Amino acid sequence: MRSARFMSIVGPRPARHSWLGLALGRADVRSLNMDRILIRGGNRLNGRIPISGAKNSALTLLPCALLTDEPLTLRNLPRLADVDSFGHLLNQLGCSTMIEGARPEDFGRVMTLRAGKVTATMAPYDIVRKMRASILVLGPLLARAGEATVSLPGGCAIGNRPIDLHLKALEAFGAEIETTAGYVTARAKNGRLPGGTIVFPVVSVGATENALMAAVRAKGTCILENAAREPEIVDLCRLLVAMGAHIEGIGTEKLVVEGVERLHGATYAVMPDRIEAGSYACAVGLAGGKVDLDGACADDMHATLAALREAGVEVTERQGGITVASDGKLNPLTLSTAPFPGFATDMQAQFMAMLLRANGASVLTETIFENRYMHVPELARMGADIQVKGRTAVVRGVQRLVGAPVMATDLRASMSLIIAGLVAEGETQVARVYHLDRGYERLEEKFAAVGADVERVSDG
């Protein structure tokens, strides 16, 4: 695991600057500034885009390192701010992280993590408030150390996003839960959870992930009913099994976990990012052209691909990826977000942008989060015709969009602004692109490589 270049070893609890200095390359440090992305509309998109490892899988695979004292090597890790932040959190808990970075021009990194000894069992507020996925250390810490304390994450732009289902699951498996002063502590009497059954009243990706990571080292059997079935959950189950866990029902809404005493290390490649692939497909749909999405996995994207085809985008599933082609003339759609295998909420904003010039009115309904239309007023500044009533947005196709200065508010909303800018007359300036850097690896390079007139300017 020794590469001549770009290898940094970060032990547990490094001084903040050393971790940030080591792990954040130039590109990542930029995201700490208020950079802007400029898009000049009118170009079609043609060529190839490499699809990176999935952010939402990486963020649940990383904490699995806490479940064993042996090395865990993750391949195809996306170069994202959230991945670096999670590495920093794991260092605080005693987990070392070694990044064998690829060359700057490569995509994906290899990270070897080792939690030889867990030296802390708390995820503090200042980390959790910046990255809510930090709550995913709750389950593995509880499984490894018999206790865990995590700051309540608080809400975020798209909704208040409580963690009651996470706690309900751990309690069902026998954990004692205590919430005080904005922190929640979970404890396993005698160090290991006895086991039990949780029937989730609402499908929750994060709660399913925390419950699985707590269950794998329980004393008894843990059953998860109405579990999330997202491909990222399957990725997590596959890694856990590779580490020695016993899980039945992978990919279904009923998961049965026979707890084991110990888990061992593994080497595992993160799945391709289905949301990143779908986002670029929407960009091609609106701007027109033909792009190969290399590495995209059609099996993870059936609902997205079906919606693209219904809109009139030509989608070809091929060995090693997906090819999308469009003349930019699209049909309107009626879409409602739902848990997998339904239409992903993480694709709603991007589809809204793609449909801004469709030949008719589209109706989008957001059933998962209560405030996921923050991109609407920004798109309206560019001339979009969108009426929001409660959870439903009616998008009437317009002839032209005009470039304007707009503000990114959350990760997927930011991508919808970029997509709209690809066909807007003149220049669109998207501010606060640190939102984008959380979930889209080297976005401007990938867009520029297929002909988009996209540029990042740094505000210092």
The answer, yes or no, to whether the previous bond of 341 is cis (omega within 30 of 0) is yes
For position 411 contacting ligand EPZ by CB under 6 A, the verdict is yes
Stretch that binds ligand EPZ, among 156-164, 171-179, 183-191, 292-300 (CB under 6 A): 156-164
The residue at minimum Cβ distance from ligand EPZ is 206
Give whichever of 100 and 410 is closer to ligand EPZ, judged by the CB atom.
410
Examine the residue annotation and report whether 95 is marked as an active-site residue of this protein: no
- Residue numbers 114-133 binding ligand EPZ by CB under 6 A: 133
Stretch that binds ligand EPZ, among 157-165, 253-261, 426-434, 449-457 (CB under 6 A): 157-165
In the block, residue with structure tokens 């999670």? 86
For position 164 contacting ligand EPZ by CB under 6 A, the verdict is yes
Tell me the C-alpha distance between 453 and 444, whole Å.
9
Tell me the C-alpha distance between 344 and 365, whole Å.
11
Alpha-carbon distances of 24 from 48, 77, 129, 283, rounded to whole Å: 27, 14, 20, 28
Give whichever of 106 and 164 is closer to ligand EPZ, judged by the CB atom.
164
Give whichever of 112 and 204 is closer to ligand EPZ, judged by the CB atom.
204
For position 368 contacting ligand EPZ by CB under 6 A, the verdict is yes
Residues in the chain: 460
390 Cβ partners below 8 Å, 6+ apart? none
Question: Which member of 110, 122, 165, 353 binds ligand EPZ (CB under 6 A)?
Answer: 165
Query: Cβ of residue 162: shortest distance to ligand EPZ, in angstroms?
Result: 4
Stretch that binds ligand EPZ, among 28-36, 114-122, 162-170, 426-434 (CB under 6 A): 162-170
For position 110 contacting ligand EPZ by CB under 6 A, the verdict is no
Query: Cβ of residue 4: shortest distance to ligand EPZ, in angstroms?
Result: 34
User: Token digits for 352?
Assistant: 């809204």
Stretch that binds ligand EPZ, among 39-47, 200-208, 243-251, 420-428 (CB under 6 A): 200-208
Stretch that binds ligand EPZ, among 2-10, 64-72, 159-167, 254-262 (CB under 6 A): 159-167
Question: Which member of 202, 306, 402, 457 binds ligand EPZ (CB under 6 A)?
Answer: 202
For position 206 contacting ligand EPZ by CB under 6 A, the verdict is yes
User: Token digits for 127?
Assistant: 């980390």
Question: Which member of 42, 162, 251, 451 binds ligand EPZ (CB under 6 A)?
Answer: 162
For position 145 contacting ligand EPZ by CB under 6 A, the verdict is no
149 Cβ partners below 8 Å, 6+ apart? 121, 122, 123, 183, 184, 185, 186
Tell me the C-alpha distance between 218 and 222, whole Å.
8
How many residues line the site for ligand EPZ (CB under 6 A)?
Answer: 22
Decide: helix, strand or coil at residue 157. Answer: coil
Q: Give the Cα-Cα-Cα angle 230, 438, 158 (nearest 5 degrees).
A: 65
For position 205 contacting ligand EPZ by CB under 6 A, the verdict is yes
For position 179 contacting ligand EPZ by CB under 6 A, the verdict is no
For position 346 contacting ligand EPZ by CB under 6 A, the verdict is yes
Query: Cβ of residue 262: shortest distance to ligand EPZ, in angstroms?
Result: 27
For position 58 contacting ligand EPZ by CB under 6 A, the verdict is no
Other CB atoms within a 10 A radius of the CB of residue 3 amount to 12
Question: Which member of 40, 161, 192, 432 binds ligand EPZ (CB under 6 A)?
Answer: 161
Give whichever of 184 and 424 is closer to ligand EPZ, judged by the CB atom.
184
- Asked if 287 contacts 43 with a C-beta cutoff of 8 angstroms, the reply is yes
Phi and psi, residue 264, nearest 5°: -110, 175
Decide: helix, strand or coil at residue 206. Answer: helix
DSSP character string of 318-382: ETTEEEEEE-S-----EEEB-STTSB-GGGHHHHHHHGGG-SSEEEEE--S-TT--THHHHHHHT
Catalytic residue among 64, 156, 282, 297: 156
For position 163 contacting ligand EPZ by CB under 6 A, the verdict is yes
The DSSP output letter for 63 is G
- Host H or E run for residue 317: strand 314-318
Cα 429 to the center of its chain, rounded Å: 24
- Asked if 195 contacts 221 with a C-beta cutoff of 8 angstroms, the reply is yes
Query: Cβ of residue 144: shortest distance to ligand EPZ, in angstroms?
Result: 21
Residues at the interface with ligand EPZ (CB under 6 A): 56, 59, 133, 159, 161-166, 202, 204-207, 345-346, 368-369, 411-412, 439
Which residues are catalytically annotated?
156
